Structure 1
Amino acid sequence: MPDQIVKPMELVCPAGTPAALRTAVDAGADTVYCGFRNETNARNFPGLNFSLKELQRGIQYASDHASNVLVAINTFAQAGKTDLWKKSIDDVAQSGAHAVILADLGMLDYAARTHPDLRLHLSVQAAAANADMVNYYAREFGVKRVVLPRVLTVQEISTINTEISCETEVFIFGGLCVMAEGRCALSSYCTGKSPNMNGVCSPPGDVSYEEHSDHLESSLSGITINQYPKGEAAAYPTLCKGRFESGGVTGYVFEDPVSLNAAHLLPALQKAGVTALKIEGRQRGKAYMAQVVSSFRKAVDALASGENVPLENLLAPLTEGQKSTKGSYQKTWR
């Protein structure tokens, strides 16, 4: 008998601009995710994101190339101020997008009642980290796919997949957040704004750099985040990835400023029943997108054919500080 052909896992890629969307599609993305240019989007940064017309054009371009578009409305609406979120859901429903990615319970309820034919995905911001939570969202709102938080091992993901009926999507490459997905309290503590509520982490207006005789100091809202000796590259100051002195030791207390790279875990994730693989990076440029997406396209297709395409060395130059981690996929600290 011929070997059974395995369906490739879906490759879900970011797009912060219309140009990045086209680049991702051209590089082989099965699906591209993006967001509107407003506070409904957890990556609401200046110069990024889409107007409704840009989204519609992007959806048409993706459709012409056999790709899908997902729209992230993944922040939490404030009480009494839900109109913008509801309108954005209405716009997605009329745009032809493949699905909307939601986190807010109220918005999930609104979407399910108002647009029953709109496919719903659950954002990582909802932090659904066990089968009971996943099944709740699937049962109550008809959620078809859940983006699992980056706090789970491969074995935990496998166990969840045996106990749920909907699809799962996991992150495989890009920025790595603190291990409390969907609860970005540190930025809010420091600046009063967070990705969960305002769509911004470490707002540019709160960032400052100060040159000293022997070092560069980065601050966020007046709080020193890091000090860099002469010649050391300075990262963007986010509180979760700041370098602090604690207990007489100077280091990264919460999370190292490195990237997630789970490339070598693709076979294990496929075996665990994962439907889709997600690349992080809506703030990244076209060159980054082209290389990362095309590299994973080759790896996913090769895996489906029973082959192997090593990516670690190829992707190393694209990680933060040219360093990477497996994150919680392999919890050596447990």
Structure 2
Amino acid sequence: MLGYLARRLTTMVVTVFALSFVCFFIIQLPPGDFLTSYLAELASRGENIDPQLVERLRQQYGLDQPFVMQYLLWIGNIFQGDFGYSFNMSAPVGRIMGDRLGMSLLVEMLAIVVLWGMAIPIGIYAAVRQYSIGDMAATVFGFIGLAVPNFLLALLIMYLTYLWTGSAVSGLFSAEYANARWSFERLWDFLQHVWAPVLVIATGGAAHVIRILRANLLDELNKPYVVTARAKGLKERVLVMRYPVRVAMTPLMATVGWLLPTVISSSIVTSIVLNLPTLSPILLRALLTQDMHLAGALILLIGVLTLIGTLVSDLLLIWIDPRIRIGALKEG
């Protein structure tokens, strides 16, 4: 097992270097850079441009260097904890990410807890009580959740909340608590706002998980080992939860690794509609304005989270499925 982990971690380090190069290359593909776009914007507004300032900025951030030198400067600074400077937001990239990463993690983790806490019991019930009213209701919920875009659901929640309460659901805090220290009052204000994005983000994912779990569990419930265990008198609840559910959960465990990158990349439109102080809108803004350092750091972070999530998924699969565990031990 230790050998397996060592090989995976070594592969992850190599992959991160390759990923960083690809990220930097993609960001450099559009003509010009952010400084060029920024100067064009200033010129369109009729503002004066200091040529010496422009040259100093190009030298400071290596924009006058060849591509390889710019990449080496960028990746070298990252290993020293310097993610560069965001021209568009006029702040260090590390500070921008630090200010929003915590909220992004908190919102997405709450959404994941709600998603799995809602989807797994419904999926199991829908499979065990096939064609019942509950199963049909779960199927309808699944179709609606998959068909309705998240941003449309967000707009609907905002409209209904304003209609019923007279106040709009926007952001994660009221104005008086936005920059305040954490306290019971600020936590209560956060809970009054966070339910909307959590519900919106969790709904579509829950519908997907319910359909997958129901289909997999229905397939397992008809297999000979389940019929044999039932014939031997094993209680139905114990039988279902101990064997078929574990096997049916295997494909879902393989997708756990996809959840970590959603901290940054998912629900961009939803975050914009609900005015959430998360990293998703920042990523879109950085890409549109060719904010090289900010976009590169966020895309690299998405890649690193994907690698970590994939490792977590594989470890969960090893834990839940003895067949995979034996294969990993043989490799180790």
More strand by share: 1
More helix by share: 2
TM-score range, shorter chain: under 0.3
Higher-Rg structure is 2
- State TM-score, norm by structure 1: 0.21
- State TM-score, norm by structure 2: 0.22
* Greater RCO (Cα-Cα under 8 Å, separation 6 or more): 2
